[in-house]
Structure 1
Amino acid sequence: MKKTILVYKNISAGCLSLMIGSGSRLMFTAMLIAGLSACRKSGFLDQKKLSQIDENTVFTDSLNSWNYVNSRYSNLSYSWEPNRWGRGGVDAASDEVQSANAPTEQETYWAGGAINPSNVTAEIWTITWQQVRAVNIFLKNQLRIPMTANTKKLLEGQMRFLRAWYYATMLKTYGGFPLIGNTIFSDGDAIDLPRNTYEECLNYIISECDAAASLLPVDFVAATGNPADYGRATKGAALALKARLLLYAASPLVNVSRGDDPARLVSLGNTDPNRWKLAADAAQAVINLGQYTLFRRVTPFFYNQFLNGLTAATPNSEAVFSFLPATTTQNNMIRETLANPATRGTRYQSTPSCFPLQELVDAFGMANGKAIDDPASGYPGTGNNMYLNRDPRFYATITYNGGLRFLNGKATDQPVWTYTGDIPSSPTNDASISGARTDGIYTATGTSTGYFAYKMLANNVANGGVELNRPRILIRYAEVLLNAAEANNEFSGPSSQIYTWLKDIRDRAGIAAGTDGMYGMKASMTQAEMRTFLQRERQVELALEEHRFWDVRRWKTAPQVLNQDLHGMEITRASNGSYSYRTIVVRKNVFRDNMYFFPIPQAELTKAPSMKQNPGY
């Protein structure tokens, strides 16, 4: 099939943002856009060849208009990708993983408490305004697109959702930002806009989610009859984004009055418990659609959900909203490239990074559902049996010393060795025996924590393998259930419904129900006990999915969780084959009160003096 890439002149992209250059003028920078889908029989993120078209050509042609909408999906996972800051992303700026990055990488600034307006990345700020301007250009032109009213409705719904998505990322990152509505600024416009309050921005995004939900179908493929439309935004995606936003708004970080925030840029100005009810109702609206269930199609369920759901013929019932990459490129093997042990490297492999910390390892309980610090859990403590009989999600998330992974040339999965000390010398070319020389702690290409990440990684790409056109699941049903559980608990305490949701999650995980049918949970928890339980459950269920960084902030537990030493496990092998274990400090993490939000990049404040910096910067 003939394919093209569209370069839109003066209409889509580059800075096209609230980025004011010298002389207080808006700066425009051309950007190459993936035009996507030469015909509607292909997946809507298939790339195309180069052609030059202008605004009039785009919106007076139905196919070009579809392609323009498709292009807005291109940055959907920009805050989720593990390589957004180098090789660790937000996971490496929390208590989840340690990165192998240099001291000048973003996650290192965050981990060391050194982030400031001059060294913070401007990626989110820039991408948001690029995409918002492109959406506004579409809304300006949508009436003249030669399509039926119903098709225009589907396009508008997607665009308004996508604008809400990019703005939602902006809100959790910076707090309030300048609201511009449908305004499109032109070259020569002087732009010096103040930031709107957190509440004004929240209400605007919520209204856009509601508007998108009213325009979008529950099932896009069923609505259009075209399997190529699988992966587009739906009513469920819009409602789930709304639920997530309201959960954040109800949380202690912003559901408060702050003396250092008189303009209410990062707070709502008062504490209102009814905000939890709004969040609970919003999550319930997603549940009530009846469209989603926890993934139970391919065993092991929890592991395989991240590698399934590529087409309308094999959908992932748990994926409320996911981004399917446009092409089979290096980016589709990025997690393996960043996280695989060197003995299991991909064709793009360099030095692995993203090594799980002991704090994440210890968050996983036992197969009976009990936390490892519960005397009834059966946890043996540090030693040879410390990785046995753990919560099955542990084995789908972490590769530990002796954990099994695919190895080229072997009929069965082979152990990954992360130890130091006495390493067998023969045969040195057999990673199943001598792999610690490459993967072991303290080696140049090995782990720095004693662990490798495994979640969302395919087990069959070692040293090559096929490209992976897998979805990036950005909202999944397990999160919706956990959001509903947290909001309901905070508003009215534990309930049988909360337990039902949690049992479903734990059953899918493979945790034993037990003779009491409680999946390791304590019956009749208090509100405080349930709060602690839910926070741990989110840490385990949603690990490495760009939640932990934000969760510890919105709960305001970051000072306790992040302002401390973070650890790894040093395992030393003796010549007789026995192991000794020692917990080691991997990094001295620092968290300061100003780090609840990102600073506005200094370059943007210089361009727009009316914008105020966040507290503490």
Structure 2
Amino acid sequence: MKHNNKITNRLRKSILPIATSFMALLALESCSSDFLDVVPDNVATIENAFKLRNEAEKYLYTCYSYLPKDGSIYHNTGFLAGDEMWIPYQTSIYSDSFEIARGSQRISNPFVNVWDGNYTGGGPSDRYKMYIGIRHCNIFLENLNDLTKVPDINFAERQRWIGEVEFLKAYYHFYLLRMYGPIPLADKNIDIDAPENEINVKRQPVDECVTFITNLLDAATEKLPNDNEIISTTEAGRITKTIALSVKAKVLLMAASPLFNGNNDFAALTNKDGTKLFNPTYDQNKWKLASDAALAAIESAEANAKSLYVFPQSPFTLTAGTMTQMSIRQAVCERWNSEIIWGNPNSQTSELQQLCMAPLDVNHNHNDARKILSPPLKIARMFYSKNGVPINEDKTLDFTDEKELRTATNDERFNIKAGFQTARINFDREPRFYADLCFDGGVWYKYDSPSKTDDGTVWGLKGKFGDPAGATHAFHTNETGYFVKKLVDWNQVTGTTGGSVYKAYAWPEIRLAELYLMYAEALNESEGPSEVVYEYLDRIRTRAGLAGVVQSWTDYSNNPSKPSTQSGLRDIIQQERLIELAFEGHRFWDLRRWKKAAEVLNTPITGWNVKGVDALSYYQVRTVYQQTFVAPRDYFWPIPESAMIQNPNLVQNLGW
């Protein structure tokens, strides 16, 4: 019997061969969820792992356990590898992703190396090597498709499990494709005794990778249950038809986008046999495929009672504006709410909330509310004016001098503490600005506000040096003067004598709002502006307390015809997506697939002077860091240097 440690040594061949022993599974680290991270106990061989349903089910959960923990600041690359949130460097926490944001990526043991090495913040771990996850999926599928194995499982459940693992296998390939571009496809595990020409695999063209992934998702969809067939209390997070359809839409949207569709920047990337890995010819039909897939996912979601989340009436007396903000915030934070298409219970969010939350009182402990996740000024500028248009387009409001000091009136008290002096940029903004962000003088309404209403004694943030949320702590410092409110559940309670309670929620991998945005984007690219595109954008805007796109641009924009052109509507859709999905890890990937990263990520990270002790000194723009993004190199990860040396058939991404 050949052991898994021998197989692991063959990782140098780039894709791990088939396992013929199960001993190494006992060493896999334990994760936080009892549901999704169960490893078979006392199982010596693969044959024994599939003799009975009980042990096979544990192997199913092992396949699930490779899903990245995207609710963790360490494991969601999109949080800190781009420009959406900044942190104090190497003080409060350390993140491999943040090294990418700082331009430190490398080919020797790359940061966030899910090919064969380290992952964000966690050090070397098999748990975050995608090809090992794929290997386990292949082992599972080979055995479950053999009807002589696991005789005590019924046919319907066997098919469901196969569908779940086909989905996971597809998702892990998608994860790699998004990071590395063209990848080797691991449809079958390679035997450890296979000849070297079979083990030294090649990268496959992007279009072939996309077809492989979507075919797997199609096969999985046929076997998976509908959402209403899931037992929510015990099976929340298990893959359903709607989840598979939604991920297919994400894959096809990415494949239709400029980074992958007709990208001449990568025309020179070929295998050693001359095979082109990127098709340099633009294909308009890819957008049609993406729009069709998004619509299919939406129809499945809505048929299963999914809807945009609206905050319910509560025993507290809340104004309409606060209710709108709570709908925006809790669409992410409310556990298993109606908008969640795919929540990952293997990724809980207590620590993430702690890193967002700010001390709102002099007695609040900076260790319990670390407030280090700091959106730059460019992110604050990104949100619309209260009229639902970009602040540089609003013809009725002047944001030219963004640091001009202004005092909040009593009418503005639900967003900014009345009588507080803060910067002009913090006034006259859309509800999502106030729902997602907090700032010096900003209101942070939550369950433990001293009043049972949003009027009067609600929490107000004070962020100047020496204030409760100021940059006085040796480690836990906000770098920009903006704080992430969106990711903190409103049930958060901070004790005045120390100690905080955070209500953890499963990380929402996909929300219905994202499906609407995917459909609007793909439909505009395939057919141009239409009433249908406006409709799906306006569904999101209505929940956000804004008028429709056409009405807002007609009434308030200095470019009123913008929504009527494909390029103008493209800009609107992209900004709408960046706003609606802010701080959920999407911006990092969207800037890449749109080929906008070279433009956006070469601008400085700026914020307020957090060492300022009064309004005049605090509201000065400070450069926190000058980012650099080298195109086309930085659009994709480098393949680890060790893998390149050990597999002569691999070719490196351009620029590395």
TM over 0.5: yes
Distance in 2, Cα, partners of 1:497 & 1:214: 28
Cα RMSD for the two superposed structures: 3.6
Distance in 1, Cα, partners of 2:646 & 2:430: 51
Deviation at 1:200, TM superposition (A): 1.5
Q: 1:293 aligns with which of 302, 307, 316?
A: 307
Name the SS for the 1:19 alignment partner.
helix
Deviation at 1:177, TM superposition (A): 1.5
Distance in 2, Cα, partners of 1:467 & 1:148: 41
Distance in 1, Cα, partners of 2:396 & 2:166: 48
Deviation at 1:348, TM superposition (A): 6.7
1:473 and 2:499 aligned: no
Change (3 A) 1:188 1:493: closer
**CA deviations over 1:347-380 (Å, ceiling 9, x no partner):** 9748553211111111011232121112335355
Please name the residue that 1:129 is paired with.
131
Distance in 1, Cα, partners of 2:170 & 2:220: 9
* CA contact 1:392–1:510 (8 Å) conserved in 2: yes
Aligned-pair identity (%):
28
Deviation at 1:134, TM superposition (A): 0.9
1:205 and 2:213 aligned: yes
* CA contact 1:33–1:71 (8 Å) conserved in 2: no
Question: 156-165 vs 439-448, which deviates more?
Answer: 439-448
Change (3 A) 1:398 1:441: farther
Name the SS for the 2:351 alignment partner.
helix
Deviation at 1:121, TM superposition (A): 2.5
1:277 and 2:277 aligned: no
Name the SS for the 1:396 alignment partner.
helix
Please name the residue that 2:66 is paired with.
75
Distance in 2, Cα, partners of 1:613 & 1:155: 36
Distance in 1, Cα, partners of 2:500 & 2:359: 15
Question: 531-540 vs 455-464, which deviates more?
Answer: 455-464
Deviation at 1:597, TM superposition (A): 0.5
Distance in 1, Cα, partners of 2:6 & 2:506: 26
Please name the residue that 1:322 is paired with.
343
1:435 and 2:473 aligned: no
Please name the residue that 1:449 is paired with.
480
Change (3 A) 1:273 1:160: same
* One-letter amino acid of the counterpart of residue 289, structure 2: L
**CA deviations over 1:550-593 (Å, ceiling 9, x no partner):** 11111111121111222112368777x77762222111010101
Please name the residue that 2:11 is paired with.
19
Change (3 A) 1:119 1:295: same
* One-letter amino acid of the counterpart of residue 243, structure 2: A
**CA deviations over 1:65-100 (Å, ceiling 9, x no partner):** 223212322232345632228xxx433332211122
Name the SS for the 1:567 alignment partner.
strand
1:60 and 2:39 aligned: no
Change (3 A) 1:188 1:268: closer
Change (3 A) 1:189 1:90: farther
1:212-223 → structure 2 map (5 Å cutoff): 212-219=220-227, 222-223=228-229
Deviation at 1:106, TM superposition (A): 3.3
Please name the residue that 2:106 is paired with.
116
Name the SS for the 2:609 alignment partner.
strand
Q: 1:366 aligns with which of 385, 388, 394?
A: 385
Please name the residue that 1:242 is paired with.
248
Q: 1:305 aligns with which of 321, 326, 331?
A: 331
Deviation at 1:186, TM superposition (A): 3.9
Q: 2:180 aligns with which of 149, 174, 184?
A: 174
Name the SS for the 1:181 alignment partner.
coil
Distance in 2, Cα, partners of 1:504 & 1:18: 51
Distance in 2, Cα, partners of 1:515 & 1:507: 13
Deviation at 1:498, TM superposition (A): 0.6
Q: 1:483 aligns with which of 510, 514, 518?
A: 518
Distance in 1, Cα, partners of 2:612 & 2:63: 52
**CA deviations over 1:310-364 (Å, ceiling 9, x no partner):** 4xxxxx22222110137xxxx5412123222256878974855321111111101
* CA contact 1:198–1:267 (8 Å) conserved in 2: yes
* One-letter amino acid of the counterpart of residue 599, structure 1: P
**CA deviations over 1:179-220 (Å, ceiling 9, x no partner):** 12122544898532111121211110010011111111222x
* CA contact 2:269–2:277 (8 Å) conserved in 1: yes
Please name the residue that 1:417 is paired with.
462
Change (3 A) 1:148 1:442: closer
Distance in 1, Cα, partners of 2:286 & 2:10: 31
Change (3 A) 1:100 1:206: same
Deviation at 1:544, TM superposition (A): 1.6
Change (3 A) 1:520 1:186: farther
* One-letter amino acid of the counterpart of residue 50, structure 2: F
* CA contact 1:370–1:377 (8 Å) conserved in 2: no
Unmatched segments (≥5 aa) in structure 1: 1-8, 38-42, 311-315, 424-433
Please name the residue that 2:623 is paired with.
585
* CA contact 2:374–2:480 (8 Å) conserved in 1: yes
Please name the residue that 1:99 is paired with.
87
Deviation at 1:395, TM superposition (A): 2.1
* One-letter amino acid of the counterpart of residue 164, structure 1: A
Please name the residue that 1:5 is paired with.
none
Question: 366-375 vs 247-256, which deviates more?
Answer: 366-375
**CA deviations over 1:165-186 (Å, ceiling 9, x no partner):** 1111100000111112122544
Distance in 2, Cα, partners of 1:91 & 1:48: 29
* One-letter amino acid of the counterpart of residue 149, structure 1: F
Question: 140-149 vs 398-407, which deviates more?
Answer: 398-407
Please name the residue that 2:537 is paired with.
502
* CA contact 1:25–1:189 (8 Å) conserved in 2: no
